[in-house]
Amino acid sequence: MAAGDEYQVKQSCFCCGASFAFGMNAYHGRHISRYRITVCDTCYMANWDGWAPHLEQKIVAHAQAKGIELPHRNSKGWLPRD
C-alpha cells in the first residue's frame, strides 16, 4: 500500500461499476450534476458524444427514480453526457 492510500476516497462508477479514487488530491472520475451520478474517467471520456445506447436504460431508470427531468437528445439521438 502506498503512503496516503488509507486516506483515499473510493467511488464506484455508475456506468461500469469500477472502483476509482475520487478525493484527497486524486480525482479519477467526474460527478455529472445533471444526472446526479459519478463515473470513472474511462466511461466519461468514452461517452464524449452522448451516452452510448447500451447505457440508456440504466440512465433513464436512475433519472426516473430520482425525479430528474431528462435533457433533449443530441443530433445522434443520444442523451447528452453533461
pLDDT tens, per residue, the chain with 82 residues: 555 566 678 999 999 999 999 988 889 999 999 999 999 999 999 999 999 999 999 999 999 999 999 999 999 999 999 9
Q: Are 9 and 22 in contact (CB under 8 A)?
A: yes
The residues with which 37 forms a beta bridge, in sequence order, are 32
Distant-in-sequence, close-in-space partners of 16: CB < 8 Å, separation ≥ 6: 40, 42, 43
* Cβ within 8 Å of residue 49, ≥6 positions away: 74, 76, 78, 81
- Whole-structure pTM value: 0.86
Strand partners, 69: none
- The residue ranges of every structural domain in the chain are 9-66
